[in-house]
C-alpha cells in the first residue's frame, strides 16, 4: 500500500493567497510606473532651463533631487526590497498533513 500526504485547503485561504499575490503584483507595477515617471522628470529637468530656474527659486536647495538623484535613490530602494523578499517555503504552507492509505490498484 502507498501512503500519500494531503494538504487541507480552504476556499477562504485560497482567496486570501490570491488577493495577496494580486496586491503584490499591483504594488510592483505601481512602483515601476513611479520610477519611470521620476526618470521622465529627471530628463525634463536636465533639458529645461525654465524648470531648473523654477526649482531653484521654489524648492531652494532641494532642486538637486530632480536631476536624477531621487530616481536613483528610488531605484535602489526597489532593488533592496526586491532582493530582501523572503524565499517561499513550502513547509510553512502545509498546515495539516494526514496520511491516506491508497491501494496500488487505485494508481
Contact assessment for residue 100 and residue 7, using Cβ atoms and an 8 Å cutoff: no
Number of domains in the chain: 1
Dmax (CA) for the chain in angstroms is: 82
What does each of the 107 residues of the chain score in pLDDT, given as a tens digit?
555 555 677 888 889 999 999 999 999 999 999 999 999 999 999 999 999 999 999 998 888 889 999 999 999 999 998 888 877 655 455 555 666 677 777 55
Contact assessment for residue 63 and residue 55, using Cβ atoms and an 8 Å cutoff: yes
Would you state the cell numbers that stand for residue 94, as one nine-digit string?
502545509
42 lies in which domain range?
2-106
Q: Residues, the chain, total?
A: 107
Would you state the cell numbers that stand for residue 46, as one nine-digit string?
536636465
Amino acid at each position: 500500500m502507498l501512503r500519500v500526504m494531503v494538504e487541507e485547503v480552504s476556499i477562504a485561504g485560497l482567496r486570501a493567497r490570491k488577493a495577496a499575490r494580486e496586491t503584490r503584483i499591483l504594488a510592483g507595477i505601481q512602483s515601476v510606473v513611479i520610477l519611470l515617471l521620476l526618470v521622465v522628470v529627471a530628463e525634463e529637468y536636465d533639458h529645461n532651463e525654465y524648470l531648473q530656474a523654477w526649482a531653484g527659486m521654489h524648492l531652494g536647495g532641494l532642486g538637486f533631487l530632480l536631476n536624477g538623484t531621487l530616481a536613483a535613490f528610488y531605484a535602489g530602494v526597489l532593488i533592496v526590497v526586491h532582493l530582501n523578499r523572503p524565499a517561499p517555503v513550502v513547509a510553512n504552507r502545509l498546515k495539516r498533513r494526514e496520511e491516506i492509505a491508497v491501494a496500488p490498484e487505485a494508481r
